[in-house]
Structure 1
Amino acid sequence: MEQVLKVEKRDGWHKLVLNRPEKLNSFNEALHAALYAALGEATDAADCRAILLTGEGRGFCAGQDLGDRKPGEAPDLGNTLERFYNPLVRRIRALPKPVVCAVNGVAAGAGANLALACDIVLAAKSARFIQSFSKIALVPDSGGTFMLPRLIGEARAKALMFSAEPLPATTAAEWGMIWQAVDDDRLTLEAENLTARLAAQSTEGLARIKQALEASHGNTLDAQLDLERDLQRSAGRSADYAEGVRAFMEKRPPRFGQKSE
């Protein structure tokens, strides 16, 4: 049976590798199910404090595997989104642990927007991001119409979505769409080192930051100030905060991971 997703459990974090390289890691139902389950397992695993998502081979993800479609059929693509892509994006955004994405090659369609759903995105300098939907008369999905204009502005987002032109990783980094574009031969090392560093930080603390940023999209300033107050109150009562202060006073690295009081 095809192993569509490779799960590597490292010291404090999980590496999830999309593994359909002959199809540029495009999604079929099996890959959807495997990735959704692996993210759930990572959420529940006490020894997993961060996740790295990447792809096998020369591409990150080419979006939907159109080979799954029957010629001449009129599929219910809304149902496809509701069953597969939307739950996947929601799980990544709500996951109470940092998710790093290493885009190792082309990221097209839903594959590009899946990457943007992650918390920190690094890409090989040779990688390209393509909002390819307009080429087949579709609407950008998987959160693309939400995330892309917030990251790079409506003018650039609209141009990319209308034209379906590939965006080089270096330009994506310059525009603030991703965190960094790195040399191809250093992508894996840089992404793994970053994930390991995040795994050594306070998982609870990072989860609160993620919660605050996610809420800020729809909040007024007053609502966001109230949320910051509430999250900070909770953070100040946590074991991780107490350990962080002790470590600072004792001039040593903190050892996070204790349960909150």
Structure 2
Amino acid sequence: MYSHITLGIDGGVAHIRLARPERMNTLGVGPGSSRDEIADAMATADKDDSVGCLLLTAEGRAFCAGGDLTGAEPTETAYDEFRFVQQVDEFCAAVRQVRKPIVAGVNGLCLGAGMGLVAQCDLVVAGDDARFGLIEGRIGHPGATDLVPIIGGAWAKFLILTGELIDAPLAERIGLVLTVIPAAELEARVTALARRIAAVPREAAVLNKAGVDAVTDAMGRQAGRLAGRAYDVTTKATAKLATAPDGRRFEDIVREEGVAGLKKARDSQFTGSWLRGTGQ
């Protein structure tokens, strides 16, 4: 049924698994893309009376290494940029509109679009091998606005302005994830958590989730999301002009040399972690 993910239901839990390990589970946009399939699977599980909780996990060494840059349609006009960001926003809204609780179990790399995805989930548990980052900031792209209500302005700015990766313990300390457990135990532990949630009164779980979400929206999360999107569209448009230290545009590099060339150009800016040696 799906090309990029798998869906299975067991013990009251809908297991949705990102299943493109050869592409590090990068997320595409549009009909038939991984985002489209995730939204469809979540909507299907939400309608299934046997399901009490959705569990999102991933195959391979990365939960999600970001957006699928090589598979994205080229954008030429301001409207193209608006429509691209709007499609991503529609996907995020589809995840948020799922009535039943969503647990995410994050292994390995969780970058860019992957961070945007877990920001829509209700509970995020990380394996101790997980690393998080907004590396798209280093090539001129947006990506931080959905994280501000979760981790605050300073950490959101640090992640998007430096593109630096943080480890799972730090992600826990800043509130990005609920807790960190050994990577070897991740699958079993998040499944156990999802089954516990599925075992509580179904209607109460739906209503309690809705109640908490209503409070966060009333506190300004929804208004902030709408305001931030305008800047995301503008930033996305200016990314066409973003250049590597050698003067070449990142957009040209990825088109001519693929992701490997993009990474090489990006890493020519700087390497290593600034956070090391700061007590983090």
Moved over 6 A (4+): none
Contact 1:120 1:179 in 2 (8 A): yes
Matching of residue 79 in structure 1 with residue 83 in structure 2: yes
Question: Which residue of structure 2 aligns with residue 12 of structure 1?
Answer: 12
The answer to whether the 8 Å contact 2:36/2:91 transfers is: no
Residue 67 (structure 2) aligns with = 64
Deviation at 1:152? 2.1
The 3-state SS of whatever aligns with 2:70 is: helix
Equivalence for 2:153: 154
- The equivalent residue for 1:50 is 53
Partner SS for 2:119: helix
Q: Relative to structure 1, is the Cα distance of residues 203 and 88 closer, same or farther in structure 2, using a 3 angstrom cutoff?
A: farther
TM-score, structure 1 as length reference: 0.76
Counterpart secondary structure, 1:87 = helix
What displacement does 1:37 show?
Answer: 0.9
User: Which ranges in structure 2 are unaligned for 5 or more consecutive residues?
Assistant: 220-280
Alignment pair present for 1:121 and 2:100: no
Please state if 1:186 is matched with 2:154. no
Distance in 1 between residues matched to 2:198 and 2:134, nearest whole Å: 31
**Structure 2 counterparts to residues 1-261 of structure 1, below 5 A:** 3-28=3-28, 29=30, 30-69=33-72, 74=76, 76-83=80-87, 85-140=88-143, 144-146=144-146, 148-219=147-218
Q: CA deviation at 1:40?
A: 0.9
C-alpha separation in 1, matches of 2:11 and 2:183? 24
Q: Distance in 1 between matches of 2:51 and 2:60?
A: 25
Q: Deviations over 1:224-252 (max 9, x none)?
A: xxxxxxxxxxxxxxxxxxxxxxxxxxxxx
Using the TM superposition, give the Cα deviation of residue 90 of structure 1 relative to its aligned residue in structure 2, in angstroms. Answer: 1.2
Deviates more, 1:23-32 or 1:159-168: 23-32
Distance 2:136 2:46 in 1: 31
2:180 is paired with a residue of what secondary structure? Answer: strand
The count of residues paired between Structure 1 and Structure 2 equals: 214
CA-based RMSD: 1.9
- C-alpha distance in 1, partners of 2:75/2:37? 26
**Identity, % of aligned pairs?**
29
Residues 13-66 of structure 1, C-alpha deviations (whole Å, 9 max, x = no match): 110011111111001242122111101101111111110001110000122111
Q: Distance in 1 between matches of 2:105 and 2:173?
A: 17
Q: How far 1:145 sits from its partner (Å)?
A: 1.0
Q: Is the 1:132–1:161 Cα contact (8 Å) retained in structure 2?
A: yes
Q: Structure 1: where are the runs of 5+ without partners?
A: 221-261
